[in-house]
Chain A
């Protein structure tokens, strides 16, 4: 069996037989949309958005971006679990390349990401009456796939470099705060102070969320979206290269 398929088989066996994993993988981000999205929409409205857009429509891309981060941190944290179970080093003696090990995990994450996005989008359209730009669905899919892969490689590097679970959790918590709030995930950047806007524009989660937003509701300037997409692709490839290097240094 192909090593990538073997990894997907392993991950699916582990995740599919654990309801906690299933809940967090598939439904947790949807709760954000339903609770936080509806709350903000009702309480604050959407004064800074384009006419005709409500906060739920705007926030859908943010939720999909957050889901990519969630899957990435969960599956990166699984390296610690595998280390504790002793299986991590045994797996490194299996007949596969280090890059295949990571790509197999990403392949499974992408499958989860797509199912999760489909559930979130379906709920958004049916319950919150979000009007999706169906013609841009390939862009939305690319945003989900690329984002899920990129963020996994990014966090996998930390999980592999940092040998301590508590330290990794601290890194995740701090980075979450910066990545999520200094970005276009929760609010549009236009009304923000200049320093804040510049910080957010340098944040890869902004690049991914802007792409997802363009692919879901058509919001954004195509030229800027293209540049951001290229930026995110470079970020993902660099993270992949660094994660493979980190994996080679294990032992």
Chain B
């Protein structure tokens, strides 16, 4: 048996559109994910992440190539694949006409959990996600954030070896998001493989053992955070806080051709791809524009790498 929970080989998904040219939403993607890993799929809107996830979850058939989940082919053994996975979709998915408890119990029944065990787990999961007080309330009467909790909590009702999370933190408050990230790490430590898509890059930076960056259906980079940072060698992030924002600072920043720039109050943030020797000159030049209270220079963040790679592609 392979050591990989997921094996994707030259996978392509083309959407045929009447009267328009076909769209290659996923274009020759190949990767594999070892068991127990948290794997991040990153990319801008329309990069093909959700389409790829839908193919892996047997919701879409690939146009060509192959994908296996726990050794089962998504095209020829879809039922076996579904037995290995649980999924949180990008959109909020919940049974609005059922109570919170019944949402969890129904999900558990579909995944073959005995009734008593399902009830026991539902109690634990509701406590974990702070929805126990709404246990008997219909989901249609809950706020959007609580509905999202119900949806995400469901994957903790079962022990499928692979979990797909498509933008799982959308609509979650920061405290719950942090807690869920902790639960995901626990699940991964138990051996579950977690595949997530996100556009919130610090989420991926904190959670993922391995990251694949996609753009226009293609892989543009792959590796752990350190490997990706090497790909982006020469990218520096400069943060300067002035006592008063200099008048021409926006123009000065634009002239440097930054990968990314941001002004917040008296603080400027700028990411640049430059030679190492130039960095101090740039800091020095910008510092002359006003009285500087704080200077910070660091290597590329995942966000810088993401912007650089997806822009190039």
Contacts and interface: CB of A to CB of B under 8 A. Distances in A.
Interface of A: 1, 3, 5-6, 9-10, 13-14, 17-18, 85-87, 89-97, 250-251
B83 A14 contact: no
A3 B98 CA distance: 18
Interface string B76-97: 0001001101110101111111
A104 to B, nearest CB: 10
Contacts of A95: 79, 82-83, 110-112
B108 to A, nearest CB: 9
Contacts of A96: 79, 82, 110
Contacts of B30: none
A14 B140 CA distance: 12
Nearest to A17: B97
Contacts of B97: 14, 17-18
Nearest to A10: B106
A93 B95 contact: no
Interface stretch (B52-60, B179-187, B192-200, B245-253): B52-60
Given A10-B109, A17-B97, A95-B112, 17 more contacts: A6-B106, A6-B109, A6-B110, A10-B106, A17-B98, A17-B99, A85-B95, A85-B96, A86-B151, A87-B93, A89-B59, A90-B89, A93-B86, A94-B110, A95-B79, A95-B82, A251-B60
B95 A10 contact: yes
30 contacts: A1-B109, A1-B113, A5-B109, A10-B109, A13-B98, A13-B106, A14-B98, A17-B98, A17-B99, A17-B138, A85-B94, A86-B89, A86-B92, A86-B151, A89-B89, A90-B93, A91-B110, A92-B58, A93-B57, A93-B59, A93-B85, A93-B86, A95-B111, A95-B112, A96-B79, A96-B82, A251-B54, A251-B59, A251-B60, A251-B61
B116 to A, nearest CB: 12
B9 interface: no
Q: What 8 pairs across the A-B complex have the smallest Cβ distances?
A: A86-B93, A251-B60, A251-B59, A90-B93, A86-B91, A94-B110, A95-B82, A95-B83
B102 interface: yes
B111 A94 contact: yes
Contacts of B114: 1
B213 to A, nearest CB: 24
Interface of B: 54, 57-61, 79, 82-83, 85-87, 89, 91-99, 102, 106, 109-114, 138, 151
A93 B164 CA distance: 10
A87 B109 contact: no
Query: In this complex, which of A6, A18, A93, A95 has the most chain B Cβ atoms within 10 angstroms of its Cβ?
Result: A93
A206 B87 CA distance: 44
Contacts, number: 75
A95 B112 CA distance: 9
A177 B32 CA distance: 55
Query: In this complex, which of A10, A18, A85, A95 has the most chain B Cβ atoms within 10 angstroms of its Cβ?
Result: A95
Contacts of A86: 89, 91-94, 151
Contacts of A17: 97-99, 138
Contacts of A6: 106, 109-110
Contact of B95 (A14, A89, A92): A14
A86 B59 CA distance: 14
A84 B106 CA distance: 19
A91 B102 CA distance: 15
B82 A89 contact: no
Contacts of B113: 1
B98 to A, nearest CB: 6
B55 to A, nearest CB: 9
Contacts of B61: 251
Nearest to B93: A86
A3 B111 CA distance: 8
A97 B79 CA distance: 6
A94 to B, nearest CB: 4
Contact of B93 (A5, A14, A85, A97): A85
A10 B138 CA distance: 14
A92 B89 CA distance: 11
Contacts of A90: 87, 89, 93
A3 B151 CA distance: 20
A9 B110 CA distance: 10
A249 B189 CA distance: 36
Contacts of A3: 110
A93 B106 contact: no
A18 B138 CA distance: 11
Contacts of B92: 86
B106 A250 contact: no
A17 B138 CA distance: 10
B82 A93 contact: yes
Contacts of A13: 98, 102, 106
B168 to A, nearest CB: 13
